[in-house]
Amino acid sequence: MSALLKLKKINLKYQTGKENISVLKDIDLIIKKKETVSVVGESGSGKTSLIMLIGGLERPTSGKIIFQDQEITNINEDEVSEIRKKNIGIIFQSFYLIPNYTAFENVALTLELNKFKNPEKEAKLLLERFGLKHRFNNLPSQLSGGEQQRVAIARAIAMKPELILADEPTGNLDTENSIMISDILFEYVKEEGSSLIMVTHDPKLANKAKRKIKIKDGKIK
Amino acid sequence: MEKLNNPSEFNLIFKYALKDLSRNYQKISSIIVTLFISLFILSAIFTIEDSLKKELNDNAKVLLGGDLEIDYNRNQGNLDLVNKVKEFATISQMIEFSTMLSTTGRTKNKSLFTRIKTVDEKYPLYGEIIYEPEGAYERIQKEPNTILINESLSKTLNIKINEKVKVQDQNFTVIGFIKSVPDVSGFVAFGDWALAGKQTLEILKLNGIGSFLNYEYKVKFNSNDDPEKIEKRIQNIFKDDQKVKLRYPKNSASGLKRIINNFSQFLSLVSISAMLIAGIGIANTLLSFINQNNMSIAVRKAIGFYSGNIKTLYYLQLLILLFIITVISYGSSFLIVPVADKYLSDGLGLNVYPAFSFINFIKIFLVGLLVLIIFSIPTISSIDQVKASNLFRNVFQNLQFYYSKRSIALSFILLSILVLLFTIGSEKPSYSLGYFGAFFICLIVFFLLSKLIIFFLKKFKSSSNISLKVSIKNITQTKSITPITIMSLGLGVTLLLTLAMVGTNFQREIAKSIPDIAPDYFFVGIQKGEREKFEQGVLDMDPKANIEIVPMVSSGIVKINGVNPNTYIKPDNDSYWVIGSERRSSWVENVPEDNPILKGEWWDLSNPNQLQISLDAKVAKDFNIELGDIFTLNIYGREIDGKIVNFREVDYRDLSINFAMLFNPQFAKNIPHEYLATAKFNNTDQFDETQMLEILPSLSMIKISDYLNKVTAVLNKVFIAVTLISAVTIVIGLIVISSAIMVQGKVKEYQNLVFKILGFSKKEIIFSSIIEFLLIFFSVILIAIFFAVIGSKFIMENIFELVWKFDLKVLFNLGLSIGIVTLILIMLTNLKYLNPKVYPLIRNQ
């Protein structure tokens, strides 16, 4: 399998007052196409920072990020948005659905943004696939946590991204819903051939991935 | 799945803008309300002004009374020339004069100074007279000694139809009431007046200046003739006649137009101020709204929306909102027109109808757009600060106004366009420019004040009172809303106080009694041989009456320094009246007590054969006249050169005898003249007007209190407009203040939650809010009072030309009321943040 993503000597530092905090140190990482990777580590080890960098939501202090053979480290925000829009789907621990959009509209928004010909139809198909046919027109506040996360996954995978970034996707869910969500996610990447980078504290979920990366004090162990 | 090849990104954003707007309109209801109120007021002012101007323009011929007017002022004029015009056009002759009209046959008869218009059978050439009963108008032409009176006169003197009234020594029968005449442009529009047949003039003894005689010939062209050619032909006929003034429809009601322009300029400027203050409120509400949507914006960025697209989304929502609100507010403004029509038809005899103007609509939309964009630039630019990465961190990012060099430059350009839009084409551009200048100076001063307050409070650390500590921390914290609160509160309070002071000064002017110096009566039409008779008549009724009597002569300014006086002044100038028609002038030995000399010397006694002129200083300034300049005056057909020797300060508002021009008595005493007199009675009841008329039948008497009542009626209408617009500003100001609090809503909620967890009592939280308000309000109110005093003084004295007085009691009461209302509003707005629910906040829901 060829490489989808390469991180070369990535460092991330934050300036807080006069103090420099080194969050990530000399990270070298290659993610292959269709690969599933879990990222584990203690709180504050730099897991979330790593996927923020990969998603182009943060810029590294030094080093290079190459996505699909294109260096994205120094391109402008709009160009990063363009890459993210087409190729990267993000799933958050707190779901982050747009509160005044229905489940269906939250998914359709991504499709419309990517100029799909029939976004409404696609959005409905996706929600049906995740067992949410009866929830099309419900607002996020009318959905359970598990349902909200299923809508969030549908939104993230709507344009069939090459890479899915998931930050503690089951962190806010009970055991039953956690199992359902992880099953949906892994089934999807298997079927569609996407790559998955997933941050998690759940060892069972972490073990579902082909590769497990442990981060400690900003370094890959 | 197929992707669209060329779908317009704009369409997508537009679609989502509509969707978001339809779902979020409740959250931005304060934007909708402030925008509607301010645009509605602006629309109402524009619509009424436009309807009025349209009415004046559409009916220019009706208002003038013909296609052209030949005005000979107080002379009959050259009838040969008039007859030449009759050869190719229809002419209607009319003569207006003022005299006393008295009731007869009552135990106590009453008299009133009345303007009488005598007309011939051809009157009116355009428009119609509305009167009752049917046939009454036709009768005044056929039956001598009949008269029609207006409703005001019938009410004041309680005259019924068929009652006899006395004009000079003649009895007339009132055969009907007139509701309106069409040609109001040159005629008294309100007050007491009557209409009579052309033979009336022959019956009465009318003398020159005392009767304020005015001869006019209204001309109607034949429908087949080319108006321009006929106008030129008539100009040619009268080209050598210096006494005539030709008037055209385009100049009709020019005085009325000037009043309308002045008043609408004042109202427009106040309304744009209200809009600019509303703009601050809009910026606050929008920031609060964007903060509420912080997460949605971050999500949009996370799924690939560009920051620019998201900003466009918000701008589009505002644009759609603005368009809808402009349509509604402009449409609603037509509902005001019938109200204005009621006032105007009662007062001026004009009827206004709603008239749609596309240009006005665009202008209102443009003003709204400019204000909206200027104030939303720093707010919507804050979207750039939203980071999608925050979604991973569960952090709440409280957005602040964001200024870049580019956005500041753009705001400045848009603001300049807005200022120019209101300045160019206004009646007095310099006033508009000055007004905007003052507005922005206020804005800067309040901004600096906020910085000063923060600076001093940061130094103040020695308090042990926890509520005080919290309130000081709130005011001085980084990114606090103190500057925006002080600016919006300061501007709102300043405008409120200014308008309130203008309003109370108006009220005082309306309610105040006659100025101390003012006499009880003015008497005109005392002929040279009647002086003693007059004085004796007055003193017989009240021996202690104080009589002032001065000679009076009528003269017209023909030339200034040898050239046409029209080259010295524009017709829209306040002092144009000096050359507009013949003026009454007088002569006195000594400097009048209430007319101090500002420049030059009193009469040069060594030069008694030279006409010397003492001129009103304001007139001199407006005409750009210097001492030593020469006025060529036409006095009884003779042209006499007079030298300007001094300038006097004349205040016509004291209602004593005042003249724009005074002559040196050494020269003027031999000019044929009559007298003007005033009398101040020991007891006004002792003076009987009817008895006085028996002594001097051609005497005209003007009772000052009657005159003031008429002025009061007009001022009352102006006061209503000022009060209404003040009320609107109050509403907008309150919305702005509450929006400023809403901006920090979420932060306040978090803060109160932390306080709750730490064990703060509700009382302590409320108390800290009160202290925070008081610290800000007391600093703001002092500066606001300062600006309001300057602003209201300028408006009263320069725009309305009325007396301004400082009233500490009014200011104190107003300041206190504004303070209490604002505090209640702040407490009410803060109330919802007092009981934060712990769970959703802790879980970031």
- Do residues B196 and B118 make contact, with C-beta atoms less than 8 angstroms apart? yes
Contact present, B491 and B442 (Cβ < 8 Å)? yes
Nearest alpha carbon to residue B369 among B419, B414, B330: B414
Cα Rg of chain A, angstroms: 17
The lowest-confidence range among B317-326, B699-708, B730-739 is B730-739
pLDDT at B208: 55
Amino acid symbol at B9:
E
Q: What is the pLDDT of residue A66?
A: 95
Does the pLDDT of residue B4 top 50, yes or no?
Answer: no
- How many Å from the N-terminal Cα to the C-terminal Cα in chain B? 35
- Give B212 or B128, the one with higher predicted confidence: B128
Query: Cβ of A148 under 8 Å from any chain B Cβ?
Result: no
Comparing alpha-carbon positions, the chain A residue that sits nearest to B25 is: A100
Distance, in Å, from the CA atom of B679 to the CA atom of B539, rounded to the nearest integer, reads 10
All domains of chain A, ordered by start, with CATH? 3-220 (3.40.50.300)
* Best residue in B303, B386, B397 for a mutation probing chain A (most A CBs within 10 Å): B303
Measured between beta carbons, the chain A residues lying within 8 angstroms of B302 are 55, 57, 84, 90, 96
Band (B602; pLDDT cuts 50, 70, 90): confident
Question: Are the Cβ atoms of B392 and A155 closer than 8 angstroms?
Answer: no
The encoded tokens of residue B457 equal: 């409070």
Report yes or no: B500 and B807 within 8 Å, Cβ to Cβ. Answer: no
* Residue B164 clears pLDDT 50, i.e. is over it: yes
CB contact under 8 A, B303 and A117: no
Cβ partners under 8 Å of residue B341, min gap 6: B351, B352, B353
Left, alpha or beta for B837 (phi > 0: left; psi -120 to 50: alpha)?
A: beta
Measure CB to CB from residue B844 to each of A94, A114, A115 and give the nearest one.
A94
Cβ distance of A100 and B20 shorter than 8 Å = yes
Q: Chain B within 8 Å of A21 (Cβ-Cβ)?
A: no
Q: What is the pLDDT of residues B540-581, one digit of tens each?
A: 888 888 888 888 888 888 889 988 888 888 776 777 777 766
The confidence band for A114, taking pLDDT boundaries of 50, 70 and 90, is: confident
Contact across the interface for B295 and A96, Cβ inside 8 Å: yes
Q: Is there a contact between B299 and A115 if contact means CB atoms under 8 Å apart?
A: no
Which chain A positions have a beta carbon within 8 Å of B297's beta carbon? Answer: none
Q: Which of B745, B829, B751, B843 is nearest to B292 (CA)?
A: B745
The span from the CA of B764 to the CA of B745, in Å, is 18
Contacts of B300 in chain A (CB under 8 A): 98, 109
Query: What residues in B contact A100, CB-CB < 8 Å?
Result: 20, 23-24, 296
What is d(CA A28, CA A221) in angstroms, rounded to the nearest whole number? 11
Which residue from B173, B187, B179, B176 is spatially nearest to B65, judged by alpha carbons?
A: B187
Q: Which residues of B touch A115 (CB under 8 A)?
A: 3-4, 7, 12
pLDDT band at B654 (very low <50, low <70, confident <90, very high): low
> How far A117 CA lies from chain B's nearest CA (Å)?
5
Q: How confident is the model at residue B6 (pLDDT cuts 50, 70, 90)?
A: very low
Shortest Cα distance, chain A CAs vs residue B392, angstroms? 7
Q: How many CB pairs under 8 A join A and B?
A: 90
Chain B contact present for A169, CB below 8 A: no
Contact residues, chain B to chain A, C-beta under 8 Å: 1-4, 7, 12, 15-16, 19-20, 23-24, 295-296, 298-308, 387-389, 391-394, 844
A12, A23, A80, A98: which to substitute to probe chain B, counting the most B Cβ within 10 Å?
A: A98
User: Interface pTM (ipTM) of the complex?
Assistant: 0.77
Residue among A45, A76, A100 with most chain B CBs within 10 A, to mutate: A100
Is the minimum CB–CB distance between A161 and chain B shorter than 8 Å?
A: no
The distance of B253 to chain A (nearest Cα, Å) reads 58
Pairing of strands B68-73, A219-220: unpaired
Average pLDDT over residues B645-659: 77
Which residues between 70 and 109 in chain A have a beta carbon less than 8 angstroms from any beta carbon of chain B?
77-78, 81-82, 84-86, 90, 92-94, 96-100, 105, 109
Helix (H, G, I), strand (E, B) or coil at B702: strand
Q: Which of B299, B312, B387 to mutate to test the interface with A (most CBs of A within 10 A)?
A: B299
Query: Given an 8 Å threshold on Cβ–Cβ distance, is A113 in contact with B304?
Result: yes
Residue A40: other Cβ atoms inside 10 A? 22
Any B CB within 8 A of A112 CB: yes
Contact B578, B615 (CB under 8 A): no
Phi and psi based region of residue B759 (left: phi greater than 0; alpha: psi -120 to 50; beta: remaining): left
Token pair of B206 as six digits: 């009318």
A23–chain B Cβ distance below 8 A for any pair = no
> Closest Cα to residue B272, out of B50, B494, B39, B428?
B39
Test the A interface: residue of B307, B392, B397, B478 with most A CBs within 10 Å: B392
Half-sphere exposure of B144 (CA within 13 A, CB side): 8
Is beta strand B700-703 parallel, antiparallel or unpaired with respect to B661-663? unpaired
CB contact under 8 A, A57 and B389: yes
Cα(B431)–Cα(B269) distance, integer angstroms = 10
CA B718, CA B190: separation in Å to the nearest integer?
15
Contacts of A113 in chain B (CB under 8 A): 12, 303-305
Quickly tell me which residue has 């106008």 as its tokens: B231
Say which DSSP state B227 is in.
H
All residues at 6 or more sequence positions from B236 whose CB lies less than 8 Å from its CB, including other chains = none
Amino acid in position B28: I
Residue B400 is classified by DSSP as -
Contact (CB<8Å) A114/B387 = no
In this structure, chain A runs to a length of 221
Q: For strand A3-16 and strand A19-32, is the pairing parallel, antiparallel, or unpaired? A: antiparallel
Q: Is B329 exposed, middle or buried (0-12, 13-18, 19+ CB in 10 A)?
A: buried
Question: Cα-Cα-Cα-Cα dihedral of B184, B188, B191, B192, to 10°?
Answer: -100
**Of the ranges A209-218, B119-128, B833-842, which one carries the lowest mean pLDDT score?**
B833-842
Give the mean pLDDT of B685-710: 79
Q: pLDDT above 90 covers what percent of chain A?
A: 57
* A69 and B CB contact within 8 Å: no
- Which residues of chain A are within 8 Å of residue B383 when distances are taken between CB atoms? none
Show Cβ contacts of residue B228 under 8 Å, excluding neighbours closer than 6 positions.
none
Radius of gyration of chain B (CA): 34
Cβ–Cβ under 8 Å, residues B517 and B652: no
Answer yes or no: do B1 and A167 touch at CB < 8 A: no
Tell me which amino acid residue B136 is.
A
Whether B12 and A52 lie within 8 Å, measured CB to CB: no
H-only helix segments in B334-428: 337-347, 358-380, 390-393, 405-423
* Domain residue extents for chain B: 1-65+254-427, 66-251, 443-516+705-845, 546-680
Q: Is the pLDDT confidence value at B674 over 50?
A: yes
Structure-token match 């909206």, residue found: B372
Hey, is B634 helix, strand or coil? strand
Say yes or no for a CB contact (<8 Å) between A113 and B303: yes
Residue B510 has pLDDT above 70, yes or no: no
C-beta of residue B587 within 8 angstroms of C-beta of residue B675: no
Residue B577 CB coordination number (10 Å):
12
Q: What is the DSSP string of B408-467?
A: HHHHHHHHHHHHHHHHTTSS-HHHHHHHHHHHHHHHHHHHHHHHHHHHHHHH------HH
**Which residues of chain A are within 8 Å of residue B392 when distances are taken between CB atoms?**
48, 51-52, 57, 92-93, 167
Structure token digits, residue B713: 């009626």
Q: Tell me which residue in A82, A116, A167 faces B304 most closely, judged by beta carbons.
A: A82
User: Using N-to-C axis directions, what is the helix angle for B9-24 and A103-113, rounded to 10°?
Assistant: 160
Mind telling me how many Å the CA of B374 is from chain A's nearest CA?
A: 25
Nearest Cβ partner for A94 among B24, B305, B394: B394
Nearest to A117 among B3, B296, B301 (CB): B3
- Chain A residues with beta carbon closer than 8 angstroms to that of B4: 115-117
pLDDT of the residue at B348: 61
Reported confidence tier of residue B484, pLDDT bands at 50, 70, 90 = confident
Nearest-by-CA chain B residue for A141 = B845
Q: Is B137 exposed, middle or buried (0-12, 13-18, 19+ CB in 10 A)?
A: buried
In this complex, do A57 and B388 lie within 8 Å of one another by their Cβ atoms? yes
Give pLDDT tens digits for B250-297: 776 666 777 777 777 877 887 888 788 788 888 888 888 888 888 889
Residue A24, SS3 per DSSP: strand
Better-predicted residue by pLDDT, B267 or B186: B267
Q: Specify whether the CB–CB gap between B526 and B674 falls below 8 A.
A: yes
Mean pLDDT, all residues of chain B: 82
Least confident stretch, A200-209, B13-22, B90-99, B500-509: B500-509
What confidence tier does B5 reach under pLDDT thresholds 50, 70, 90?
very low
What are the start-end ranges of the E strands in B74-185? 89-103, 111-119, 130-132, 146-150, 164-167, 170-180
Contact residues for B356 (Cβ-Cβ < 8 A; gap 6+): none
DSSP state of B797: I
Q: What pLDDT score does B842 carry?
A: 44
Checking if the pLDDT of A64 tops 50, the result is yes
pLDDT over threshold 50, residue B3: no
Mean pLDDT, rounded, for B165-179: 88
Give me B78's structure tokens.
């050259």
pLDDT at B494: 85
